[in-house]
A = this chain, B = another copy of it.
Amino acid sequence: MNVQSPPVALKPNDYASDQEVRWCPGCGDYAIVKAVQKALSNMGADPKNTVFVSGIGCAARFPYYMATYGFHTIHGRAPAVATGVKLANPDLDVWVIGGDGDMLSIGGNHTLHVLRRNIDVQVLLFNNEIYGLTKGQYSPTSKVGTRSPSTPAGSVDSPVSACVFALGCNARFVARSVDTNLKVLPGLMQEAKENTGASFVEILQNCIVYNDGVYSSFTDKANIADGQVVCEHGKPLLFGKENEKGLRMTPGKMELEVVTIGENGVTEADILIHDETNRPLALMLAGMQPPNFPVAMGVIFRDPGPSYDAAVYDQIAEMTEKSPAIPINELMHKGKTWTVV
Which residues of chain A have a CB within 8 Å of any CB of chain B? 105-109, 112-113, 116-118, 140, 153-154, 156-161, 164-170, 249, 253-255, 275, 278-281, 283-284, 287, 305, 308, 311-312, 314-315, 318-319
Whole-angstrom CA separation of A69 from B157 in the bound complex: 27
> Is B116 a contact partner of A308 (Cβ separation < 8 A)?
no
Given known pairs A108-B109, A279-B283, A281-B280, the reply for A116 and B160 (CB within 8 Å) is: yes
Q: Provide a sorted-by-A list of 29 A–B residue pairs whose CB atoms are within 8 angstroms.
A: A105-B113, A106-B109, A108-B108, A108-B109, A109-B109, A112-B112, A112-B160, A112-B165, A113-B140, A117-B158, A118-B157, A153-B318, A156-B312, A156-B315, A157-B308, A158-B305, A160-B169, A161-B170, A164-B168, A165-B168, A167-B168, A168-B168, A168-B169, A168-B283, A254-B275, A279-B283, A280-B280, A280-B283, A283-B283
Whole-angstrom CA separation of A333 from B284 in the bound complex: 54
Q: Which residue of B lies closest to A163 (CB)?
A: B168
Q: Which residue of B lies closest to A144 (CB)?
A: B311
- Closest Cβ of chain B to A288, distance in Å, is 12
- Closest Cβ of chain B to A118, distance in Å, is 6
Q: Specify which chain B residues have a CB less than 8 angstroms from the CB of A113 in the assembled complex.
A: 105, 108, 140
Whole-angstrom CA separation of A254 from B170 in the bound complex: 18
Q: Specify which chain B residues have a CB less than 8 angstroms from the CB of A140 in the assembled complex.
A: 113, 116
Q: Specify which chain B residues have a CB less than 8 angstroms from the CB of A153 in the assembled complex.
A: 315, 318-319
Q: Specify which chain B residues have a CB less than 8 angstroms from the CB of A165 in the assembled complex.
A: 112, 168-170
- Closest Cβ of chain B to A247, distance in Å, is 12
Q: Specify which chain B residues have a CB less than 8 angstroms from the CB of A160 in the assembled complex.
A: 112, 116, 169-170
- Closest Cβ of chain B to A204, distance in Å, is 18
Whole-angstrom CA separation of A166 from B118 in the bound complex: 19
Whole-angstrom CA separation of A278 from B315 in the bound complex: 41
- Closest Cβ of chain B to A30, distance in Å, is 30
Whole-angstrom CA separation of A170 from B108 in the bound complex: 14
> Is B158 a contact partner of A118 (Cβ separation < 8 A)?
yes
Whole-angstrom CA separation of A253 from B272 in the bound complex: 10
Q: Specify which chain B residues have a CB less than 8 angstroms from the CB of A279 in the assembled complex.
A: 283, 287
Q: Specify which chain B residues have a CB less than 8 angstroms from the CB of A319 in the assembled complex.
A: 153
Given known pairs A112-B112, A279-B287, A281-B280, the reply for A164 and B159 (CB within 8 Å) is: no
Q: Which residue of B lies closest to A171 (CB)?
A: B168
> Is A156 a contact partner of B308 (Cβ separation < 8 A)?
yes
- Closest Cβ of chain B to A12, distance in Å, is 35
Given known pairs A160-B116, A165-B112, the reply for A281 and B254 (CB within 8 Å) is: yes
